[in-house]
Structure 1
Amino acid sequence: MSAPPRLPDYGSVLEEVRKVRRAGVVRLREIDTPELRRIADELHGSDGELSGGAVERLLRTAVFGIGGGSLQTAAEYTLGLAQGTRDWPPADRRRRAAQVYGVSVERFRKHHELMVLGQIAEQVVALAGRAPAHTAATATAPLPAAHRAIPLFLHGRVVTLTVHVHSVDLLRDVDVVVSPTNTYFALPAAYKSSVSATLRRAGALKDPAGGVVEDHVHDELRGWAARNGTPGRAALPGTVVATSSGALAGQGVRRIYHVAVAVPRPETNDYDVQPADVTRGVTRAFALLAEESRACDPPLTSICLPLLGAGRGGLPPLESFGALWTAVEAELARGAEWDVHFVVRRHARADLIERLLAGLTERAVRADRGIRADRGDP
């Protein structure tokens, strides 16, 4: 019978969480957090080269476990886990967290911050109790995570990608959502289950009885077609059209990028999707993101991608991810600082993405070690 996992000392965990508060997650690899690293390793496994990423993933899971509300929001700002705050100085993060509670910075430091850090530490200790040292007879498997932060070692730096495992309309605080569509930019009926239909439905303004008052996404897309002389004619595969997010703006989603990847087969209800068109479309989506970001206040910084073409388009999930990853990797390889997200509805697909990214990281780490060895670097 396996021994139960060694529960960490709460005081030690709290002290290390305080270190992270002072340093921020951007400097995790520079600070000494042996207890957090041990817990991260037991829960997820880690590589010495990526220990900072493993600890960040542990902390994100712990903060997510708080369960929302002001406490979770303040915890995200306190550690630098909130979008766009990774490199904020500790004083700026503390000031923003104090605003969440509507108190002065000094009162937050003396009272609320102690509560926030304590709750993070409590969640970390609870996660340590779920480590896989439990026996099969006594262990209670945790629910699969709906949000997975995956550190990736890519071209000499660590980036963190997020995989969401839920319907696309549940996304929050992601600036841009990419939506696959056909080359006619004809959206499906709002009651259907595809990504584009779900976004159309979620973006519509409804009356108290649920009736559609304004079909924002659909109407904007039709307006684009009318202005560009394409109504009733197919656009080139890979074309990208931006619309507002309609009612999704209330969830922090600011734009929808409609990527034409599905080519209808004449006189059928079927489509053809070519992986090259997926890559081309995602590449253009990043170019549009860069263009629009400069004109927006605050700038656009994050983008979320479904597995384009893996629904009625017929592409296997592996092939779809490979096609869009080609564009994502090229963008990140040039040093772009976008916050990249993926969204899928099935945990099996999230597992696939996580395995693929883990394999990429392993190969990148080996290659980096080889390069440093050839140069004689330590």
Structure 2
Amino acid sequence: MVPDVPINDEDYASMLGELKEIRRAGLVKLRTLRVPVLQRTAAARTSNGSVEELIRHAVCRLDEGTLRAAAEYTLGLAQGTRDWPGADRRRRAAEIYGVSIERFRKDQELMLLGQVAEAIDGLGEEAAGDRWDLGTTHRVVPVAVRGRTVPVTVHVHPVDLLRDVDVVVAPTNVFFALPEPYKSSVSASLRRAGAVRGVTGDILEDRIRDELRAWVARQGALGRPVPAGTVAATGAGALTGQGIRRVYHAAVAVPRGGTNDYDVQPADVTRAATRALAILAEEEHEFGPPLRSVCFTLLGAGRGGLPYRTSIGALWAAVEADLARGARWDVHFVVRNPSAAALLTRLATRIRPKADPTPTG
């Protein structure tokens, strides 16, 4: 392996172009393609300098589900698809998302190739020693902010396993319509964990959903969208038994008409995080003991399609600004993917997540 070199924004954009070319031509023609950034990166980050191995490792880092499955078909990594024409691979990937081929080409395909590039960049962080120990679920990262050191706790586990954090900031859409509790999103997990159940497991009270609906009704916003970046504060339902006292619902996802997709803008993530911290300051002394700790999920990094580093960068802009003004919050982040956790550990070295040039819709 040759010495590794960090991927800068120019290389990142070039890498995306090279991934698009591989998607078009297929792995069977990889040797004939000119992909200098991927070749250089593979030489530094794989044992044999193989571009295909680099891409496979990156795709394996993606969250399981539609994203990884669609990426495997798009790039010909799924079993039996190596020699499929690009059109057939694109058609199968579009079926996974349940959208038309043209919609997939213009939206999800760009998003997932960006996620693959993000994962390739993450392989460099592992090589540089930022690899997250898979046996570790918590790590305290000391971060320098305006002349003082602030401990930031990073959790790697499902959000409903959080304990003893006063406030959880969770993403939702601009209609404040929570997903069904059987789904796998952050909001669905919190709704499920916050419900009061009977001895047979049946839901007796859907407390988080009911409180959120009441909040929306008080604002006169039933059935209509609120501005992106709006935050609604509710109780935590049964999660109070785990030491969680409030859930702040951050409306960052804007539904795209006629589809099951959402648009999320990084500026709205920053705006929502700023508002959440302002609400925390307003509510702090309304509780006994006062609210002191807040945990952010990666707003917009799920169905919203934001790369991890884009979401982290947007969140940290708000958190750092509040801490720099003297706020003394106990700050936490909770993620499911170790690569996202590795990005968060880079806050300690003042390496900021780069802006991502990939269109996300």
How high is the TM-score relative to the length of structure 1? Answer: 0.57
Matched, 1:294 2:282: no
Aligned match of 1:173 = 164
Which amino acid is 2:341 matched to?
Answer: A
Structure 1's unaligned 5+ residue stretches are 1-140, 363-378
Cα displacement (A) at 1:319: 0.4
Aligned match of 2:177 = 186
Cα displacement (A) at 1:209: 1.1
Matched, 1:242 2:233: yes
Cα displacement (A) at 1:359: 2.5
Aligned match of 2:147 = 156
Find the residue that maps to 1:247 and give its secondary structure: helix
Q: For 2:268 and 2:204, how far apart are their aligned partners in 1?
A: 35
Find the residue that maps to 1:218 and give its secondary structure: helix
Matched, 1:312 2:303: yes
Aligned match of 1:336 = 327
8 Å Cα contact 1:154/1:361 also seen in 2: no
Q: For 2:252 and 2:141, how far apart are their aligned partners in 1?
A: 27
Matched, 1:360 2:350: yes
The 1:163–1:298 alpha-carbon spacing in structure 2 relative to 1, beyond 3 Å, is same
The 1:226–1:161 alpha-carbon spacing in structure 2 relative to 1, beyond 3 Å, is same
Of the three residues 320, 323, 336, the one matched with 2:314 is 323
Find the residue that maps to 1:277 and give its secondary structure: helix
Aligned match of 1:375 = none
Aligned match of 1:349 = 340
Cα displacement (A) at 1:226: 1.4
Aligned match of 2:264 = 273
Please give the per-residue CA displacement for 1:329-376, whole angstroms capped at 9, x wherever unaligned.
00111111000000001112111111x2132189xxxxxxxxxxxxxx
List aligned pairs for 1:81-160, cutoff 5 A.
144-160=135-151
* Runs of 4+ deviating beyond 3 Å: none
Aligned match of 2:242 = 251
Which amino acid is 2:182 matched to?
Answer: Y
Cα displacement (A) at 1:232: 0.5
Aligned match of 2:30 = none
RCO higher in 1 or 2 (8 Å CA, sep ≥ 6)?
Answer: 2
Structure 2's unaligned 5+ residue stretches are 1-131, 353-361
Q: How many residues align?
A: 221
Please give the per-residue CA displacement for 1:192-245, whole angstroms capped at 9, x wherever unaligned.
000000000000001111110000000111111112111100001000100100
List aligned pairs for 1:47-62, cutoff 5 A.
none
Which amino acid is 1:241 matched to?
Answer: A
| Percent identity of paired positions between Structure 1 and Structure 2 | 63
Cα displacement (A) at 1:143: 5.1
Which amino acid is 1:155 matched to?
Answer: R
Find the residue that maps to 1:196 and give its secondary structure: helix
8 Å Cα contact 1:190/1:200 also seen in 2: yes
Q: For 2:280 and 2:134, how far apart are their aligned partners in 1?
A: 34
The 1:345–1:143 alpha-carbon spacing in structure 2 relative to 1, beyond 3 Å, is closer
The 1:195–1:143 alpha-carbon spacing in structure 2 relative to 1, beyond 3 Å, is closer
Cα displacement (A) at 1:294: 2.0
Which amino acid is 1:205 matched to?
Answer: V
8 Å Cα contact 2:144/2:348 also seen in 1: no
Find the residue that maps to 1:323 and give its secondary structure: helix
Q: For 2:205 and 2:237, how far apart are their aligned partners in 1?
A: 9
Cα displacement (A) at 1:166: 0.2
Aligned match of 2:105 = none
Find the residue that maps to 2:350 and give its secondary structure: helix
Of the three residues 223, 229, 232, the one matched with 2:220 is 229
Aligned match of 1:103 = none
Matched, 1:217 2:205: no
Q: For 1:142 and 1:286, how far apart are their aligned partners in 2?
A: 30
8 Å Cα contact 1:180/1:259 also seen in 2: yes
Find the residue that maps to 1:329 and give its secondary structure: helix
Find the residue that maps to 2:177 and give its secondary structure: coil
